[in-house]
Amino acid sequence: MTDTLRLGIAGLGTVGTGVVKIVQRHAELLSRRCGRPIAITAISARSRDKDRGVNLRHYAWEDDPVVLARRPDVDVFVELMGGADGPAKAATEAAIAAGKHVVTANKAMLAHHGQALAEAAEAAGVNLRFEAAVAGGIPVVKALTEGLAGNAVTRVMGVMNGTCNYILTRMDDAGLTYEEAFAEADGLGYVEADPELDVGGIDAGHKLALLASIAFGTRVSFDDMKLEGIGKVSIDDIRRAGDLGYKIKLLGVAQMTGRGLEQRMTPCLVPSASPLGQLVGGTNMVVIEGDAVEQIVLRGPGAGEGPTASAVMGDVCDIVRGMKLPVFGQPAETLAPAPPANAESPACFYLRLELVDKPGALAKVATVLGENGISIDRMRQYDHPGAHAPVLIVTHKTARPNLDAALSALPGTGVLTGAPVALRIEEV
Ligand SMILES: NC(=O)c1ccc[n+]([C@@H]2O[C@H](COP(=O)([O-])OP(=O)(O)OC[C@H]3O[C@@H](n4cnc5c(N)ncnc54)[C@H](OP(=O)(O)O)[C@@H]3O)[C@@H](O)[C@H]2O)c1
């Protein structure tokens, strides 16, 4: 290794060019802070000729990221191509096998292969860092692995997909339908090429799975996560939830209980006055609760060139400074298999029902809820011009199986005119 720390960057899109810009703009500052200069020696992308708005003339070019990862003049391989498998994984494995440190922003790859890659990196004695993969510019991985290392973490929550939060915010503040808000977000370039990654909750689920592993000392278990996107959230529910003092968010929650590890990324209600309830637009927020620290809230840009490149460079600086940490906060071989929760923690639920406008309809609903052990905390009925009466119910804390049993029984009453909507209310 020369005195200069040499980066090889594979992927020169949004994040990759952002990293190049920081290295070029802050060469002197980085050198001063890290005690050694940082330089880019080699780069790779699909198209060599594309104008990327940065000067790349002084860097060696490789068509194949695997070849780049193995170059002797690369100390840290920076993987910014994306994709759970394919070239990203092949090049990361090649870099580790060649004894190079790796910095990546690739949550999909780590959510699916994090355990194997972490074991390989630790066996090879190299760092595998991924701050940029979770909540963009927010240094949440660092917060969990370092600043909060003295805590038993009890719960991690977060709004970690800016596109979903932007869509929900626009539905709320501009009264747009889901389709209209989605089209607007798409027009602004906020939606991934495969929209399901965003609006289906998959991207945010990947991030939560990584945080859960660090928080609870368990192997990354994305496959056990309950995932539900925002496609079914209606403007009606956003308005009605607002009337009751709540906002609807695509909220990720990971917590270890006696039932096992709960991981869910689903639309839920949070109090409007809470930090999560006040989060608007594309911003991300992560809430961490620990037995000693109680609760901390981290808020910031969850994506974009500058914020994501900032997180990548934070990892690079740690490596230059000689920091060495286990990938998920404790040696990968000591991570326990995640015990999937056999049931969700009980919660209050928001129910929206459309009932026939006839005497006794509400009583039949109350009977079904009561028969399933669900008690009503609050109820609201709306004026209605037609024959359908919209009714909102907030339940007291109830177990999900009881709610599901009630939801199955309700159509049998003959008083519903549409499918009931049920959303969890998260205590935050
Ligand atoms: N964008 C964000 O705000 C953000 C935030 C957090 C995390 N991330 C993560 O960061 C990573 C990169 O995201 P991005 O938004 O920068 O993606 P992007 O703009 O689509 O850029 C991807 C880059 O990878 C290159 N590439 C793709 N396949 C390649 C291959 N087979 N060989 C060599 N190069 C290849 C592309 O080359 P060409 O340019 O020649 O096509 C492009 O330069 C992803 O893992 C993403 O999930 C992104």
Give the closest residue to 197 by CA, choosing from 257, 250, 153, 145: 250
In the predicted model, is pLDDT for residue 107 greater than 80? yes
**CATH class of segment(s) 348-425:** alpha beta
Phi, psi dihedral angles at 9 (to 5 degrees): -110, 120
Question: Do 344 and 258 touch, CB atoms closer than 8 A?
Answer: no
The strand ranges marked E within 113-245 are: 128-129, 153-159, 226-227
Q: Which residue's alpha carbon is at the smallest distance from atom 34 of ligand 1?
A: 45
- Per-residue pLDDT, averaged over 351-370, amounts to 94
Tell me how far the alpha carbon of residue 114 lies from the centroid of ligand 1, in angstroms. 19
Distance 309 CA to ligand 1 centre (A): 12
C-alpha 106 – ligand 1 centre gap (Å): 9
Are 5-133 and 143-302+330-334 the same fold in CATH?
A: no
Binning pLDDT at 50, 70 and 90, where does residue 2 land?
A: low
Domain boundaries of the chain, sorted by first residue = 5-133, 143-302+330-334, 348-425
Q: What is the mean pLDDT of the chain?
A: 96
pLDDT at 66: 98
Residue to mutate, 43, 46, 48, 77, ligand 1, most ligand atoms under 8 Å from C-beta: 46
What is the Cα–Cα distance from 305 to 309, expressed in whole angstroms? 6
Q: For the stretch 229-249, what's the b/e string if a residue is b when 16 or more beta carbons lie within 10 angstroms of its beta carbon?
A: bbeebeeebbebbeeeebbbb
CATH code for the structural domain at 143-302+330-334: 3.30.360.10
What pLDDT is stored for residue 1 in this prediction? 47
pLDDT at residue number 48:
96
Averaged pLDDT, 51-69? 97
Q: Of 308, 310, 312, 315, which is best to mutate to test ligand 1, by the most ligand atoms within 8 angstroms of its C-beta? A: 308
Report the alpha-carbon distance of residue 262 to residue 251 in Å, rounded. 13
**Residue pLDDT, tens place only, 268-324:** 999 999 999 999 999 999 999 999 999 999 999 999 999 999 999 999 999 999 999
Question: 5-133: which CATH architecture?
Answer: 3-Layer(aba) Sandwich (3.40)
For residue range 199-237, list pLDDT tens digits in order.
999 999 999 999 999 999 999 999 999 999 999 999 999
Residues with CB under 6 A from ligand 1: 10-16, 44-47, 50, 65, 80-82, 87, 105-107, 132-133, 136, 303-304, 308
Ligand 1 centroid, distance to 139 Cα (angstroms): 20
Q: For the residues 389-408, what does the mean pLDDT come to?
A: 96
Active site residues: 207
Write the residue with the smallest CA distance to atom 29 of ligand 1. Answer: 46
**What is the share, in percent, of the chain residues with pLDDT greater than 70?**
100
